[in-house]
């Protein structure tokens, strides 16, 4: 299967070289200094140079990232909140990370457990925000019969490079008297 991908890529490169990078039908002489690896990346020898006007720029190197090693966290505060039955509660959910991640988008969802007929309601349980963009408020309303201890769980999922698909989870406790 990988052979097919590389083969299709090579056919595309050959087609671009045959037609010309600028759309003309004049042939382009391929450079021997560009080497296509099986992974689809290109490398240039130290003595070669590729200028922006060079049609060989249709072949570009691929940038890779160690997205799995990017560090960011999610916090919920306060860690415990006690409220009387029939009142409101508020938790702050904050995604943080290094300065290089500032503004990178995450989607935050929240849930409460255990689920019963009297479980407090959470408003705005799904929210998009940026890392290091401050806290978002998670508001809840308790009913008169909501007495008990509940776990609020927030999950943030990366929806923008370089953290796409990465998740962080944090929780807090809600005690309703």
Give me the percent of the chain exceeding a pLDDT of 70.
60
User: Who wins on pLDDT, 6 or 69?
Assistant: 69
**The pLDDT of residue 3:** 43
Both structure tokens of 77: 């505060």
| CATH architecture under which domain 67-176 falls | Sandwich (2.60)
Q: How far apart are CA 37 and CA 75, in angstroms?
A: 43
Q: Which of 39, 64, 61 is nearest to 50 (CA)?
A: 61
**The pLDDT of residue 2:** 43
Kindly indicate the confidence band of residue 126, based on its pLDDT and cuts at 50, 70 and 90: confident
**The pLDDT of residue 71:** 92
The answer to whether residue 59 scores a pLDDT higher than 90 is no
- What average pLDDT does the structure give for the chain? 73
User: Who wins on pLDDT, 137 or 55?
Assistant: 137
pLDDT digits (tens, 9 = 90+) for 68-113: 567 999 999 999 999 999 999 999 999 999 999 999 999 999 999 9
**The pLDDT of residue 124:** 73
pLDDT digits (tens, 9 = 90+) for 7-24: 433 333 333 334 444 444
Mapped to the 3 state alphabet, what secondary structure does the chain carry?
A: CHHHHHHHHHHHHHHHHHHCCCCCCCCCCCCCCEEECCCCCEEECCCCCCCCCCHHHHCCCCCCCCHHHCCEEEEEECCEEEECCCCEEEEEEEEEECHHHCCCEEEEEEEEECCCCCCCEEECCEEEEECCCCCEEEEEECCCCCCEEEEEEEEEEECCCCCCCCEEEEEEEEEEC
User: Who wins on pLDDT, 158 or 50?
Assistant: 158
**Residue boundaries of the structural domains of the chain:** 2-58, 67-176
User: Who wins on pLDDT, 79 or 35?
Assistant: 79
**The pLDDT of residue 20:** 43
Residues in the chain: 177
**The pLDDT of residue 32:** 41
């Amino acid at each position: 299967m990988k052979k097919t991908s590389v083969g299709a890529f090579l056919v595309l490169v050959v087609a671009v070289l045959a037609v010309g990078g600028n759309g003309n039908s004049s042939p382009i002489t391929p450079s021997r200094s560009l080497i296509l690896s099986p992974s689809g990346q290109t490398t240039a020898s130290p003595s070669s140079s590729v200028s922006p006007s060079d049609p060989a720029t249709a072949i570009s190197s691929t940038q890779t990232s160690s997205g799995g090693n990017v560090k960011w966290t999610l916090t919920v505060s306060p860690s415990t909140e006690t409220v009387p039955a029939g009142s409101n509660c508020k938790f702050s959910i904050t995604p943080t990370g290094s300065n290089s991640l500032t503004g990178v988008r995450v989607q935050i969802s929240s849930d409460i457990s255990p689920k019963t007929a009297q479980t407090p309601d959470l408003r705005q349980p799904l929210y998009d925000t940026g890392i290091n963009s401050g806290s978002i408020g998670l508001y809840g309303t308790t009913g008169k019969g909501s007495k008990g201890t509940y776990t609020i769980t927030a999950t943030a999922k990366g929806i923008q490079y370089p953290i796409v698909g990465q998740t962080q989870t944090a929780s807090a406790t809600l005690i309703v008297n």
